[in-house]
Amino acid sequence: MRMLAGFIFVFLILTVFLVSYSIAASYNNASLTANVVVVPGCPFSISANVPRVIAGVGNFNINYSLSPTVNCTLPSMYGMLRLYNNKRMVYSENLSANVPSSNTIRINTSSLKGGQYSGNLSFANNHTSNFTNVDFTVLSAAKLVISNFRVVGPVNTGSNINMHLILKSEGDYGAGNVILFLNLTSPYIKNLTIPIKNIPAAPASVDIALPSESNLALYAGTYKISAYVEYTDPMVSNKTYTTAPFNTTYIVNAPSHPSKPVKLPAVPIPKIPKITITSAPLYITMNSNSTISTSIGISNPSNSTETLNLSVPGYISNIVKLSTHSLELTPNSNISISVLVDGKNLSSGVYNIPINVSATINNKTSSYTDYATFSVSSSGVNEPVVNTAVELQNNTNDGYVVISISTPSNVTITNGTAITYLPQGLVPNESYMDAYGMPNNITESDGYYYVEWHISKLKPLQTVYAYIYVRKQVSQLLFSGIHTDILAPSVTTPSILHLLYVNSPSFETLGNGTTVVELLYTGAYPSSVNLELTGPPYMHIYNASQSLPALPNQLLYAYFKQTAGNTSGTSIEKLLITAKGAAINYTVPLVINSRPVKITTTTTIAPNIIGTAAEAIKGAVQRYFILLLVIIIAIIITISYYRYINKPHYDRSRSEYIKSMKKRIGKK
């Protein structure tokens, strides 16, 4: 009995020890790890995750999970989500979820603005409850606003104009595919499109100096121009947005001499005694790096020979070349003196050419200066060159317009079209104009006469001429408004480099990726193809410069390994590919996304002692079941053995003794 009592006492001591240890451990866990309200039920924790949120772009998700802290389940927990912005509640929703479960809340972003948001996600029933905070940032989609658009003055007739555009980026992401549209509405109609690059990804204002443009200052006056921008948001499936138009005006000044103002020729051309000026250059429009030829026509109706001297000022003698400087003009003869203008060393602008003519007869000399105004504008690479010369005829009553169209060495025009614009007030009506030199037709619209020329084919380094004879012009000044545009599709000689494919991945901040470039080399001889990729300073490009050996008609692949910095948003990288006699510039979009941040809140809650003890005993039983089973079995074996050894056992000698005693008694 004493041994049995001892074993029972040991068993009780072990049980009390295990229960006390489990209670203490549970109490410590409840105080430190918290995030659990423990009641007779199913204690649980909440974790929430909010991916990237862009204002006004569809829906965003709040992903959350309810996880039991012990082995249990709980159906139909009631919950509530509340979101706040600047301490004002902007969204609430009733929820229902099971424990355990993972769920998603979808919220439309149409009513959200960019900024910081805080929230509270809670679940509860009659026995247990918990909550977590949900904090996130709403990013603004790409948005561009034209802060200012201006034409840099002063602007002279026929010159190229320089423009500045100030774009403000109000979104958290940079815009892509930005195109500026310019609409000239007065005094004539002209539309232009200009791609804009390097828009910053972060909210900022950028002042962009636009490429100089021709044909926006054809003659003096006040011009009205409107600008707007179209762009896409790479984060919103490339949806196209348009800014509000920005309207402005600019003034184009009348032509002037490079050093001092000069007056246009009087009307009519002054007569020099005994000779007649039959034609004289008035306006010349030409492209830089080109030449144009015009002429001065002179006749001698007298019966005497006259000596003619022609000259230009020394400061333009290297620009303007005369076919002759002195000659003897016999009676009743005519002569045409060629005037060659070389614009190869001239910058864009408006110039005046004074041509001095003097005639001597019978020791009497008369002089006359003819002023020809010419404008020089830059031409694009691989574009046809168009030059125009206007000459006065028949003592200024008529005008003669000569148009030349030339192709560079790698351009061919096939079934093309050129249009010459003449101000409507130049002549009384269309019948006062004759156009020839190329097939054409004349129409009238929007204050202009349009002479449409058909170019069947123009090979590289070829020139064609077209002519318009204007009778009884109303105003010499309107001749300055004549200009010609090439509307023909031109074909450029194919390059030996063909960019086939560029694949740049979307990066995560501090993440890695590889940009893949595929191109075809079609040169006639083996060559080296050089590639260089440059990007913003927060992008680390490991092999930014590469050189690949290439054979004719070989596909080439280049791989640029990169690591993004800690800056998210949209920007660009620039890819330059060069080979002998060829080059390609390509803009590579760069998208860097922020890594989603998982949000889990830990809450310290005082434990319920009774519930904790019950759960602790249950947990201890689960954790130490085998140990307890071994102890119980050991106790049972011990008790059984004890009872066995104390039980009376059968003694054979004793039995024999009893039998002998019985025999003795029986004998008596």
How far is residue 283 from each of residues 63, 219, 390, 423, measured CA to CA in Å?
73, 11, 5, 14
Per-residue pLDDT at 649? 55
Per-residue pLDDT at 220? 65
Cβ atoms within 10 Å, residue 367: 12
Same domain, 531 and 574: yes
Per-residue pLDDT at 646? 66
The angle, 0 to 180 degrees and rounded to 10, between the axes of the packed helices 2-32 and 609-623 is 120
Q: Is the per-residue pLDDT at 477 higher than 80?
A: no
Region 522-535: mean pLDDT is: 86
Same domain, 113 and 154: no
Whether 514 maps to a domain, the answer reads yes
What pLDDT digit, counting tens, does each position of 230-274 carry? 888 766 666 788 899 999 888 877 544 333 333 334 444 444 555
Cβ-in-10-Å burial (0-12, 13-18, 19+) of 231 comes to buried
387, 390, 379: which is closest to 405 by C-alpha? 387
* SS3 label, residue 498: strand
Q: Is the per-residue pLDDT at 201 higher than 70?
A: no
Region 548-574: mean pLDDT is: 85
Same domain, 296 and 334: yes
Same domain, 17 and 160: no
Percentage of the chain lying above the pLDDT 70 cut: 73
* SS3 label, residue 10: helix
Band of residue 418 on the pLDDT scale cut at 50, 70, 90 = confident
Region 141-146: mean pLDDT is: 84
Q: What CATH number does residue 212 fall under?
A: 2.60.40.10
Q: Among the ranges 86-90, 364-368, 522-526, 646-650, which has the highest mean pLDDT value?
A: 86-90
Q: Is the per-residue pLDDT at 86 higher than 60?
A: yes
Same domain, 385 and 336: yes
Looking at the structure of the chain, the number of domains it has is 5
Whether 350 maps to a domain, the answer reads yes
pTM of the model: 0.37
Kindly give, in sequence order, each residue whose CB lies less than 8 Å from that of residue 243, ignoring residues fewer than 6 positions away.
Answer: 144, 145, 146, 228, 229, 230, 231
Cβ atoms within 10 Å, residue 553: 10
Spatial separation of the C-alpha atoms in residues 426 and 56, rounded to whole Å: 55
Per-residue pLDDT at 605? 42
Among the candidates 490, 514, 539, a domain finishes at: 490
Per-residue pLDDT at 180? 87
Spatial separation of the C-alpha atoms in residues 118 and 599, rounded to whole Å: 12
Whether 170 maps to a domain, the answer reads yes
What pLDDT digit, counting tens, does each position of 91-101 carry? 899 999 999 99
What pLDDT digit, counting tens, does each position of 26-51 carry? 333 333 333 343 344 688 899 988 87
Q: Is the per-residue pLDDT at 614 higher than 70?
A: no
- Exposure string for 12-23, b = 16+ CB within 10 A, e = fewer: eeeeeebeeebb
Per-residue pLDDT at 208? 79
Q: 92 pairs with which residues across the strands?
A: 82
Same domain, 9 and 56: no
Region 556-568: mean pLDDT is: 88
Same domain, 198 and 157: yes
Whether 663 maps to a domain, the answer reads no
Whether 408 maps to a domain, the answer reads yes
- Exposure string for 435-463, b = 16+ CB within 10 A, e = fewer: beebebebeeeeebbebbbebeebeeeee
Our CA angle for 347, 350, 356, nearest 5°, is 110
Per-residue pLDDT at 19? 46
Cβ-in-10-Å burial (0-12, 13-18, 19+) of 95 comes to middle
Same domain, 132 and 156: no
Spatial separation of the C-alpha atoms in residues 459 and 4, rounded to whole Å: 119
Per-residue pLDDT at 80? 93
Whether 160 maps to a domain, the answer reads yes
Whether 286 maps to a domain, the answer reads yes
Region 403-413: mean pLDDT is: 81
Kindly give, in sequence order, each residue whose CB lies less than 8 Å from that of residue 599, ignoring residues fewer than 6 positions away.
Answer: 47, 48, 49, 50, 132, 133, 134, 135, 136
Residue carrying structure tokens 């680390």:
540
Per-residue pLDDT at 95? 93
Spatial separation of the C-alpha atoms in residues 448 and 425, rounded to whole Å: 8
- The answer to which of 22-26, 121-125, 152-156, 635-639 has the lowest mean pLDDT is 22-26
Same domain, 57 and 19: no
Among the candidates 119, 138, 157, a domain finishes at: 138
What pLDDT digit, counting tens, does each position of 99-112 carry? 999 999 998 887 78
Whether 567 maps to a domain, the answer reads yes
What pLDDT digit, counting tens, does each position of 279-321 carry? 777 777 777 667 777 777 878 777 778 787 888 877 777 778 8
Same domain, 349 and 461: yes
* Residue 219 contacts residue 244 (beta carbons within 8 Å): no
Same domain, 441 and 474: yes
Region 503-520: mean pLDDT is: 87
* Residue 486 contacts residue 416 (beta carbons within 8 Å): yes
Region 532-559: mean pLDDT is: 88
User: Residue 375: in which H helix or E strand, if any?
Assistant: strand 364-377
Q: Is the per-residue pLDDT at 64 higher than 80?
A: yes
Q: If you average pLDDT over every residue of the chain, what do you get?
A: 75
What pLDDT digit, counting tens, does each position of 443-460 carry? 887 677 888 888 888 888
Q: Is the per-residue pLDDT at 567 higher than 90?
A: no
Per-residue pLDDT at 160? 73
Among the candidates 138, 171, 206, a domain finishes at: 138
480, 479, 519, 524: which is closest to 503 by C-alpha? 519
642 or 230, which is more confident?
Answer: 230
What is the extent of the structural domain holding 561?
A: 497-593
Same domain, 552 and 587: yes
Q: Is the per-residue pLDDT at 572 higher than 70?
A: yes
Band of residue 165 on the pLDDT scale cut at 50, 70, 90 = confident
Q: Is the per-residue pLDDT at 215 higher than 60?
A: yes
